[in-house]
Amino acid sequence: MWASTSRTAMQFVADHRDHDKWWGLNQMKHGDLASMSNLDFLDKFYTNHVANFRRPKYNGPKNVNLYIHGDSYLYKMYMGDSVFAGVSSLYFIGWTSILHYHLDTTKRNIFIIEVSERLLREYYHTTKIIDEFHDTVETQGKTGVLRSAEQGQKYGSFIPGIISDNFFNKFINQNLQCNIFNYNWIKPMYGSKAALNYYLFDRASGDVIISKDKQYLLLRQTLVPVGNGSSLSPVSDDEISLLVNNFNEIYDYYRGTGFTEIYLSIIPNTATIVQPDGYNNLIPRVQNDPRLKMAVIDIYSVFKQTKEKVFLPGDTHWNNTGKQMWFDTVNKILVGK
Amino acid sequence: MTFNSLQFLVFFMVVTLWFFRLKSQKGRVWLLLVASCYFYMSFIPEYILILGGTIVIDYLAGFLIEKNTGSTRKFWLIISLIANIGALAVFKYYNFFIDNIHTGINFFGNKLSLPVLEMALPVGLSFHTFQAMSYTIEVYRGNQKAERNFVVYALYVMFYPQLVAGPIERPQNVLPQLKEFRGYNWDNVKEGLARMLWGFFKKVVIADRLAMVVDRTFAHTIESSSTALFIGAVFYSFQIYCDFSGYSDIALGAAKVMNIRLMENFNQPYLSRGIQEFWSRWHISLSSWFRDYLYIPLGGNRKGGLRRKFNVFIVFLLSGLWHGANWTFVIWGVLHGLLVILLAGKTIEKNRSFIYTACRVIVNFILVTFLWIFFRAENLGAAWEYIQRICSFIGGSNYIGIGGVEFVFSLMVIAIMMLRERYGKGFFIASNTRFYLYTAMMVLICYFFGVFAENQFIYFQF
């Protein structure tokens, strides 16, 4: 039990567990949702991770330093500098990282804030987030390299850190699940339950829902009528104003530090595109708000118009086609000026 | 730490094994107290300070009540009641009170902004404060000696199986059991585990499955048909029963494993033939608490019919408010109170035909189901709209959140549950072989047919 509540112990487990051996079930191998729902035995939800992106046809000068503050949709492991036109240096900053940077004013310094729709309201609904956001770009350092930083959830001051870290962990059930039951030899049992639900009750388990057209697995969080991550939960005008105001503060901050262009790019939930009935219109309402100072990389409209499939069937993220469309949209901006 | 979590299963196993290894009751009491503290702190650690504060006050008040006589004795009882009701008033009702002041003032066109408390309601606050109050009241009445051992008293309030959702125990029942050393008893272990498994079955196989329908219909009231809404309401009746009584089964079972007998909280309430009978079968520990500590002190039925009706009304009003700081709970309580008052004296005739009895049971169930809509809805408007749409036989979406096969399966498990509780003979299984088979079967059923979405127990919010 302690091993599952202790941050240190869980870190040890994560570091030493070989995900291809009998005792290390690889949760993400076939797509996060397919794995979460244990429906990864179905080919229709299989995720192909192989990525081949087009190099842009561009022969002009490489005069752009591109900084992207993004999430798992754009993790650097799946892309490289070569997919962007005219970029001499690409800096990708994940949500839990800090960038030490020094702007080269002889080049175009472009900052893109990429956020997935299901995290948008959670990340940007308080000014506290902006403070954290500011901290992620540390202007004192001038090395231009990425450095990790932990942003762990701590309990209040009453409980000393060492106790909260080792005895009260809000992810203890997931950790116990991982330590006790997350082994390849138990996998058939999970699969049996998932198959029973799928074939008998026509549904997936737990946090995963099958789309109405049966083509996608969807994160339950994005389809329930409550919660910040949902495409259906109502968003008030006041909340839109708050989000726009927060983005404007971020815009002002980065303009003040020397960035010449700052863009906002919101990646829609799969549910927003493939099952839009009752959509709360969060993305268009933020993007089209006349008070928003940031320019927008509007992938929502691109996805709405295309006939192609842009999301992975068994994963929360987009497929290579969707990602390529995002690169193409960004490249139009990069070469357009 | 909810009962339907992996964390609880591991916790229960470790604590129970350790419990039986200890050879002195003092050690066991300490173990259970530390385990109960961890159990409570696993929700929000800081809130143990609130619980600890009321425990210290009530422990001291018990002493002082016993030691003194006359008005001083009464004074310390009042101090204890103020401490407990004060904790409820601040942490549970303050924001509700402020919201209503805001609404009232805004209604008259004025603007006022009073500070609100930005913190979550401490888990199980209503349960443990009521249990603590029963202790000081019983000491005041002379029915219970003040407990000298602080650890034992703290455990009486904090005993983890019933800490956050009851049953709301009485000191006469629990305190002696906490002080008596009882050796390992395989029969009790079997009975306790069998009951826990039954509780898990009701929670994960029935309640959390029905929750998919209930959540859907209550969230999509406007587009759903009357049929879908009616199904949603009926399923909510069974969801809340299986959720709450499932919790009680797990609590009673876990305590039984450790040789502690807690009071029964349910007795097949949906087989009641009238609303009065329903309240003698539903949440018995709360009903009897209100009867013993409010209804009877107010005069009960000893001061004439009108006063009796007033007393009943007050009890149900407060019972509604006890459940939550929302007008939906208040109205739910008031409506139950009015029904009990209006239907008083309609005694249940003996030797009536099965059909007559069945009709009464069904009518009473439908009545209770309609009242549950107030309990479940976000606000009064939503509840009223839900009821209106059911009664207007309106068309709309018949989708209820699950498919046809699962709907039939849900009805089937409800029927199994009702039959098991009606005709089953307790939870003790004499034969070891039958016990092992029962355990294996229930584990497999809970795993394969359980819905594991980490749903909290509904009554945790109270």
Q: What is the pLDDT of residues A176-215, one digit of tens each?
A: 777 777 777 788 888 898 899 999 988 887 788 899 888 9
CA distance A303 to A186: 39
Contact A159 B46 (CB under 8 A): yes
- The parent domain of residue A120 ranges over 64-154+233-311+319-335
DSSP secondary structure of A76-101:
GGG--GGGSTTEEEEEEE-TTEEEE-
What is the pLDDT, as a whole number, of residue A137?
57
Would you call B323 a catalytic residue per the annotation?
A: yes
Q: Is residue A299 included in any domain, yes or no?
A: yes
A17 min Cα distance to partner chain B (Å): 21
Q: Check which CATH number belongs to the domain holding A90 and give it.
A: 3.40.50
Measured CA to CA in angstroms, residue B420 lies from A24, A131, B204, B417, B425 at distances of: 41, 58, 17, 5, 8
Q: Is residue A257 included in any domain, yes or no?
A: yes
Contact A156 B403 (CB under 8 A): no
Contact B219 A156 (CB under 8 A): no
> Which residue stretches of chain B have pLDDT < 70?
345-351, 453-462
Q: Is residue A78 included in any domain, yes or no?
A: yes
Measured CA to CA in angstroms, residue B357 lies from B47, B269, B273, B346, B414 at distances of: 48, 14, 7, 14, 20
CA-based nearest residue to B95, from B117, B113, B114, B111: B117
Contact B38 A167 (CB under 8 A): yes
What is the pLDDT, as a whole number, of residue A17?
62
B8 touches chain A (CB under 8 A): no
B452 min Cα distance to partner chain A (Å): 6
What is the pLDDT, as a whole number, of residue B347?
61
Contact B42 A168 (CB under 8 A): yes
Q: Is residue A111 included in any domain, yes or no?
A: yes
Which of chain B's residues have a Cβ under 8 Å away from the Cβ of A173? Answer: 5-7, 454
Contact B7 A176 (CB under 8 A): yes
CA-based nearest residue to A274, from A229, A319, A309, A302: A309
Q: Is residue A77 included in any domain, yes or no?
A: yes
Q: Which residues does A contribute to its contact with B (CB < 8 Å)?
A: 1, 4, 155-156, 158-159, 164, 167-168, 172-173, 176-177, 180, 189, 192-193, 196, 200-203, 205-207, 220, 224-226
B308 min Cα distance to partner chain A (Å): 44
What is the pLDDT, as a whole number, of residue A26?
57
Residues in Cβ contact with A277 at an 8 Å cutoff, skipping those fewer than 6 apart:
none
What is the pLDDT, as a whole number, of residue A255?
85
Q: How many domains are contained in chain A? A: 1
Q: Is residue A173 included in any domain, yes or no?
A: no
A205 min Cα distance to partner chain B (Å): 7
Query: Facing residues of A100 across strands?
Result: A138
Q: Is residue A290 included in any domain, yes or no?
A: yes
Q: Is residue A226 included in any domain, yes or no?
A: no
> Which residue stretches of chain A have pLDDT < 50?
139-157
**φ and ψ of B443, to 5 deg:** -60, -45
What is the pLDDT, as a whole number, of residue A147?
35
Where along chain B do its domains lie?
Answer: 6-181, 187-273+348-461
Q: Is the ipTM of this complex over 0.95?
A: no
What is the pLDDT, as a whole number, of residue B105?
81
Q: Cβ atoms within 10 A of the Cβ of B207, count?
A: 27
> How wide is the angle at C-alpha B327 spanned by C-alphas B322 and B328, nearest 5°?
85
Which of chain B's residues have a Cβ under 8 Å away from the Cβ of A2? Answer: none
B445 touches chain A (CB under 8 A): no
Cis amide bond preceding B167, omega within 30? yes
Q: What is the DSSP letter of A267?
A: E
What is the pLDDT, as a whole number, of residue A154?
36
